[in-house]
Amino acid sequence: MAALLSLEEVGLYYARGPRHVVRVLEGASLEVWAGEVVCVWAQRGRGKTTLLRIAAGMERPTSGEVYLAGQDLWGLSDRRRSRLLAEEVGWVTTAKPELDVPVLDRVAMPLQVVFGKDRAYARARQVLERAGVSDCARQGWASLSDEERARVGVARAIAEEPRLLVVDDLTAMLRSGETDGIAQLLRSLAGERGLGVLASVSSMGEARWSDRIATLSGGELLVSAREPKRAPEKIVSGPWLGSGAGA
């Protein structure tokens, strides 16, 4: 059985001037399995977001291979790669949206092409409830707290039922209790649905909820050994959100 995500000897280099090369990543290898949470820690500006962008198919590495759901990501045509990423990967971020529309609209709008308006909004309400922010549905982004923004980011990412969540420094601005709440949410999503979660964190303490920790330093990635996987907390059959969401 193959890992859900596999990075094999990934390198990323930038030319800075005619003679200087910046090596962001050097021979980085990493696996994320279904139901597993892996946290990547590095000091600020040392490449952890870049690593996540490569894992999510948002940036092409200079060398090495990236396999997602058993497929060589950069061996696919642009069309097949885009479709695979859309189906399999949810990118979680708290970046400010281009349009400050109500939260419910922000989650529902990308779903309308596939599900139609009514089903898209039903699905959006359900994922907001699952993420613990159903009471924020009519609020704009500017009025949300940092924790609410983090939870909305998770809701938006799981709305299309991906198999892999890639989470970029989601807890960096949160207090300890808020961080624990987000960690519990991601941990439960991994357990109940067999999601793989790859998350960057700003401190080693934030990684305590993960199954494994990967440390990025000087472009090299050191990954802790994989322990025998415990049984998932709960396996839910059928679509996550039930027939009411138009699954």
Q: Which of 138, 143, 145 is closest to 124 using CA atoms? A: 138
170 class by beta-carbon count within 10 Å (0-12 exposed, 13-18 middle, 19+ buried): buried
CATH T-level fold of 5-95+162-238: Rossmann fold (3.40.50)
Query: What is residue 243's predicted lDDT score, i.e. its pLDDT?
Result: 37
- Cβ neighbours around 235 below 10 Å, total: 11
Q: Tens of pLDDT along the chain (247 residues)?
A: 789 999 999 999 887 777 777 888 999 999 999 999 999 998 887 889 999 999 999 999 999 999 999 999 999 999 999 999 999 999 998 888 888 899 999 999 999 988 999 999 999 999 999 999 999 999 999 999 999 999 999 999 999 999 999 999 888 888 888 999 999 999 999 998 899 999 999 888 888 889 999 999 888 999 988 765 544 444 343 455 543 444 3
Query: What is residue 181's predicted lDDT score, i.e. its pLDDT?
Result: 94
> Which residues, 6+ apart, have CB-to-CB distance to 3 below 8 Å?
31, 32, 33, 67
Query: What is residue 150's predicted lDDT score, i.e. its pLDDT?
Result: 95
Query: Cα(first)–Cα(last) distance of the chain, in Å?
Result: 27
State the residue for tokens 């898209």: 120
Query: What is residue 93's predicted lDDT score, i.e. its pLDDT?
Result: 86
What is the rounded CA–CA span in Å between residue 85 and residue 236? 23
State the residue for tokens 């000897």: 9
Query: What is residue 104's predicted lDDT score, i.e. its pLDDT?
Result: 97
Query: What is residue 229's predicted lDDT score, i.e. its pLDDT?
Result: 52
What is the rounded CA–CA span in Å between residue 195 and residue 197? 6
Q: What angle do CA 52, 54, 57 make, to 5 degrees?
A: 110
pTM: predicted TM-score of the whole model, two decimal places: 0.88
